[in-house]
Each structure stands twice: as C-alpha cells, then as structure tokens.
Amino acid sequence: MANIIDGKAISAQIKEELKEKVAVMEAEGRQVTLAVIQVGSDPASSVYVGNKKKACAYIGIRSLSYELEEKTTEEELLALIGELNNREDVNGILVQLPLPSHIEEDKIIKAIRPEKDVDGFHPQSVGALCIGQPGFVSCTPAGIIQLLKRSGIEIAGKECVVVGRSNIVGKPMALLLLRENATVTVAHSKTKDLKDVTRRADILVVAVGRPKMITKEYVKEGAVVIDVGIHRNAENKLCGDVDYDDVAPICSAITPVPGGVGPMTIAMLMNNCVESIK
C-alpha cells in the first residue's frame, strides 16, 4: 500500500516556520502586509478568501480586506490596484479569481506590480520562472514541490508526467519539475494514447479537473501520484482527479483529497507573502 503524503501536516510545518520568521521580522520592526481583493460574493471565493485571511492571522501577517461589489468596474479595480501598488506598507496584493465577466482578468493580473504579485500569475513572474530567474511562483505547483521534497521523494532524473497545461497549475508545474532536473512530459486533452504517456511516469501530477479520471490503468506500479483536482461528488464528499481507492494500492506514494495538495496552496501563498517583504 502507498505512503500517504500528508499535505495537512506538511503545510502546518511550513506555517510554523513562517510564523517564526514573521515574529523575527516583527521584532525588527518589519510588518508583512497582504491586501486581499474580492469582487462580488461568489460563495466558493468567499471561503477561499476567508481561509487566506485566517492563515495570515495565524502567521502574524496583517491582511487588508477589500470586498468590492459585483458591479465594480474594471477602471475602479485598476485604480485600487494602482493605489496598493504605490503603498509602501503593502507587500503583497491578491485578487481572488474568478472575476465577474465584465472585468478582464489578464488586464488585472498585469496591473499588479511583479514585486507584489504573491499569486505568481503576472507574465513577468511566469517569464522569470521560465528562464530560471527569481520571482514569485504559482502557489499550487510550488506547494507540490515542497510536498515531494519534504516527503523525501527524489525529483532529479525522474520521468515526470503532468496531465493538464493550465497557466495556474500545469505549465508552472512542468517548469518547476524541469528546474528540479526531472525529465518532463506535459499531457493535455489532445494527447494521443494518454495511458501510454502517464504509465511512463515515476512521478505523475494530475490537474485535469475531471473527477476520478485517473484509474490504475494510467499508473505505473510504484509511481508517486499527486492529485491536484478538487471536486464535490453527489454525496457532497470531496474527491480528486485520481480514483484514490483504485490507484493507491499500486503506487509508492499518493496525495489524498482532501488533505493533500489543497492545504499546500495556502501555505505557499503565505510563504510568498513573507518573501514579498524582501
């Protein structure tokens, strides 16, 4: 049976380390501040924003909350970002996605100064990752690297397959694995013979957004399986993109849903906030 990679425990460990760092900064008179902007009141977004603010409070990061009405215009949002970009007491700016359809997300992401782009979504942050320069990295894939490293799983030289090529997960995941000296393949909806590709993986990262799509036929015996997906099934229970019960018996390590990748995303956001003060 596989080792279960405990994202809850690893994220708690990272938060404790950050708490200590923030306490030292505070003693030196430096306060980390994150501005969190939510437009509209989408219930899922409100839960995510609430969790991020809770994590900030726990670690000792000051969070400034901007809850804007659904009808907020693009110009108004850009004006607020401009103001926060110029505030010296604000280190990080987070705009909760998705935004209402009348606001162009790309424009908003580009408006955040790269030095305050704690989500790591700005084209400059993505470009820096691509060419191996310092910059903020998207939190979910950064969290997966931490999960692997802190579980003692070697990445260098391994065959890694990432299923999914989104800007937020799949692409930065592939770049990070490459940075760690893995041999990386990215698969997507147009990939032919997906099972043949995924069965090559020593480390398989799945971010397809399809509940329980990955069954044991997709997985090589002894592989490490990282499940990024989050879904609620008919019984309101959470599940991932991987059919956990089917796959766990044949792999060497696996992340559960919940309690795997999910908690790491917030831990890495907090890490980026602490880094942003530099």
In the β-sheet with 62-68, what is the strand arrangement from edge to edge? Answer: 62-68, 33-39, 92-95
> At its nearest, how many Å lie between ligand NDP and the CB of residue 124?
21
Active site residue 190: no
228: closest CA among 3, 5, 1, 2? 5
Q: Which of 6, 15, 38, 119 is catalytic?
A: 119
Contact indicator for 201, 160 with CB cutoff of 8 Å: yes
Residue from 59, 194, 239, 269 binding ligand NDP (CB under 6 A): 194
Q: Which of 96, 116, 220, 241 is catalytic?
A: 96
Which residues 109-148 are close enough to bind ligand NDP by CB under 6 A? 140
Contact indicator for 91, 30 with CB cutoff of 8 Å: no
Residue from 24, 152, 190, 192 binding ligand NDP (CB under 6 A): 190
Dihedral sign from CA coordinates of 211, 212, 218, 220: positive
Residue from 53, 199, 210, 216 binding ligand NDP (CB under 6 A): 210
Residue from 63, 72, 265, 271 binding ligand NDP (CB under 6 A): 265
Q: Which of 15, 52, 158, 171 is catalytic?
A: 52
> Contact between 252 and ligand NDP (CB under 6 A)?
no
Active site residue 52: yes
Q: Which residues of 217-226 are buried (b: 16+ CB within 10 A; e: fewer)?
A: ebbbeebbbb
Dihedral sign from CA coordinates of 219, 231, 5, 173: positive
> Contact between 172 and ligand NDP (CB under 6 A)?
no
The residues, any chain, with a CB within 8 Å of residue 49's CB and separated by 6 or more, are: 36, 38, 65, 96
Active site residue 96: yes
**CA distances (Å), origin 108, targets 6, 76, 80, 82, 125:** 34, 11, 11, 10, 14
- The stretch among 62-70, 91-99, 148-156, 260-268 that binds ligand NDP (CB under 6 A) is 260-268
DSSP assignment letter at 183: E
> Contact between 174 and ligand NDP (CB under 6 A)?
no
Residue from 111, 168, 214, 268 binding ligand NDP (CB under 6 A): 168
Catalytic site positions: 52, 96, 119
Interface with ligand NDP by CB under 6 A: which residues?
Answer: 140, 163-166, 168-170, 187-191, 194, 207-210, 228-230, 241, 261-262, 265
